[in-house]
Amino acid sequence: MSAPMISLEGLTSTTSFDQLLATAKSGGCASSTCGLSGKPDDMDPAVWEKIKDHPCFSEEAHHYFARMHVAVAPACNVQCNYCNRKYDCANESRPGVVSEKLTPDQALRKVIAVANEVPQLSVLGIAGPGDACYDWKKTKATFERVVGEIPDIKLCISTNGLALPDHVAELVDMNVDHVTITINMVDPEVGAKIYPWIFYDHRRYVGIEAARILHERQMLGLEMLTARGILTKINSVMIPGVNDEHLIEVNRWVKERGAFLHNVMPLISDPAHGTHFGLTGQRGPNAMEMKTLQDRLEGGAKLMRHCRQCRADAVGLLGEDRGQEFALDSIPGEVTYDPSRREAYQEVVARERHDHVAARSEAIGMVKAAGSGKSLLVAVATRGGGRVNEHFGHAKELQVYEVSPRGISFVGHRKVEQYCLGGRGDNATLDGVIAALEGIDVVLCAKIGNCPKDQLAEAGIRATDAYGHDYIETAISALYAAEFGIQPLAATA
Ligand code: SF4
Ligand code: SF4
């Protein structure tokens, strides 16, 4: 598949906005199937319509669309042993202080400012820094204000589930059709090791009783959402030795109750964060332990593997955080929503995406037809748009794909420290990057110097920029063909 006429690269910066508009105005999508591009064959079109622009509910959408979280809900009714209230909600965030808590009016200003500047924005989420359902008045007021100004934005909440059943009817009324519940256990004995207390019905509960109530409320909330057609994602924090094996049972329970996705995330545990687990030496899983558990869960509730454990005030594509660009004191007191940038972007994406879907299908067909029996783990440096388009030295994460006789699948990402700053690479940083790439066979990137390439090779990891700017799947299929001496045209013969 040749490169398309339209590229998203560069189209999202301020300086290229005229280009974005010109591209959008140059004609509508030629295909009547654009709206369905990327839809899995076995998915209901109505469900696809809900998720196709949601970067968390669709792996494919996360190459194109961005979310923002507004930190309007600081109060919480549960204590998790992996959370310190000074930090973001670990359910949905990496530890790090929320830069600023917002009132609903401040949140509205910020959302408008972001929507005017970040054309990829499609989802507004409330993920704490406490619990969106417990701090309900602020959650509801924020959503009502925002949809009054930006009616097409998707609304999303994240909750521990304890207060969820009380608000399902209002979620339906507000057209919130994506909800995340963090469910770490279905056995209260396991739960008692994770939750020291909950606050429910005007009282504090501890131990197994607390975990039992939380479990019952989580299951009730999930069932209520499923019955009303709201898509649910279940987040589970993998805590080695506490609930890692148990998450297989959790996956079964939530699948039976209609969960749309199951997102297993690694415990982030650092004594510096001051959490109970951090201070008592409870470790998190490493990347290969995560992958092994996720592989065991295949066949159950469908897995989300592209979660980035974002901050509760994150802004941008998954894996990038532009939150600092939109600090409240940098936003004018009066802001007016201008939909032109988002509309133009959506039109361009519809066309690019159609081309991407065709390229991916061809690439996966070639890999399956090759019948080589071999597999590779490939780490890709990308800035979005579904392409190999980031320099190795500039990458802050690499997306990991598995290519095997079953096809090409996204299986996760590896966070890394940026190796090259100001044109110079740092050897100590490179050592850390190499360690983070444990188990990876090949790195694909837009550019890489000889020095990091040689050091990667010494660690048994090949790296190449030969497929720079290709679609990721096209690049991986060409790599696969080259690695195993397969004729690239075999699939179409
Ligand atoms: S539910 Fe979220 S905010 Fe509340 S204690 Fe757990 S991780 Fe922290
Ligand atoms: S924490 Fe995960 S699910 Fe939530 S916005 Fe980030 S990527 Fe999406």
Ligand 2 atom, smallest distance to 92 CA: 1
Pick out the chain residues at pLDDT < 50. Answer: 1-8, 10-15, 23-25, 27-35, 88-97, 489-493
Ligand 1 atom, smallest distance to 182 CA: 1
pLDDT tens for each residue of 204-253: 999 999 999 999 999 999 999 999 999 999 999 999 999 999 999 999 99
For residue 238, how many C-alpha atoms fall within 13 Å in the half-sphere facing its CB?
24
The total number of residues written for the chain in this structure: 493
- b/e map of 258-294 (b: 16 or more CB within 10 Å)? bbbbbbbbbbbbeeebebbbbeeebebbebeebbebb
**Distance from residue 127's CA to the centre of ligand 2 (Å):** 9
In three-state secondary structure terms, 276 is helix
> What's the CA angle centered on 315, arms 133 and 139, to 5 degrees?
20
45-330 and 351-484 in the same fold: no
The topology (CATH level 3) of 45-330 is: TIM Barrel (3.20.20)
- For a pocket test of ligand 2, which of 51, 53, 54, 56 has the largest count of ligand atoms closer than 8 A to its C-beta? 56
- b/e map of 443-462 (b: 16 or more CB within 10 Å)? bbbbebeeebbebbeeeebb
Determine how β-strand 178-182 pairs with β-strand 261-266: unpaired
* Per-residue pLDDT, 4: 38
* Residue partners of 153: CB distance under 8 A and separation at least 6: 111, 115, 121, 122, 123, 124, 146, 147
The topology (CATH level 3) of 351-484 is: Nucleotidyltransferase; domain 5 (3.30.420)
One-letter identity of residue 394:
H
**Structural domain spans, the chain:** 45-330, 351-484
- b/e map of 337-360 (b: 16 or more CB within 10 Å)? eeeebbebbbbbbbbbbbbbbebb
The protein residue with its alpha carbon nearest to ligand 1, atom 2, reads: 89
**Distance from residue 451's CA to the centre of ligand 1 (Å):** 44
pTM score of the predicted model: 0.81
**Distance from residue 63's CA to the centre of ligand 1 (Å):** 28
In three-state secondary structure terms, 36 is helix
Residues linked to residue 237 through DSSP beta bridges, in sequence order: 265
Residues linked to residue 296 through DSSP beta bridges, in sequence order: none
Ligand 2 atom, smallest distance to 308 CA: 7
Ligand 1 atom, smallest distance to 130 CA: 3
Report the alpha-carbon distance of residue 156 to residue 159 in Å, rounded: 10
* Per-residue pLDDT, 84: 82
The protein residue with its alpha carbon nearest to ligand 1, atom 3, reads: 130
Report the alpha-carbon distance of residue 351 to residue 483 in Å, rounded: 32
pLDDT tens for each residue of 395-443: 999 999 999 998 999 988 898 999 888 778 788 889 999 999 999 999 9
* Per-residue pLDDT, 193: 98
**Distance from residue 439's CA to the centre of ligand 1 (Å):** 32
Report the alpha-carbon distance of residue 385 to residue 12 in Å, rounded: 11
Ligand 1 pocket by Cβ (under 6 Å)? 76, 78-80, 83, 89-91, 128, 130-131, 160
The protein residue with its alpha carbon nearest to ligand 2, atom 8, reads: 56
In three-state secondary structure terms, 254 is helix
* Ligand in nearest proximity to the CA of 158: 2
The protein residue with its alpha carbon nearest to ligand 2, atom 2, reads: 307
Residues linked to residue 125 through DSSP beta bridges, in sequence order: 69, 156
DSSP structure class, residue 315: E
Cα-Cα end-to-end distance for the chain:
15
**Distance from residue 345's CA to the centre of ligand 2 (Å):** 22
Report the alpha-carbon distance of residue 430 to residue 416 in Å, rounded: 9
* Per-residue pLDDT, 95: 33
Ligand 2 pocket by Cβ (under 6 Å)? 56, 67, 92, 125, 307-310, 318
Q: Are 401 and 476 in contact (CB under 8 A)?
A: yes
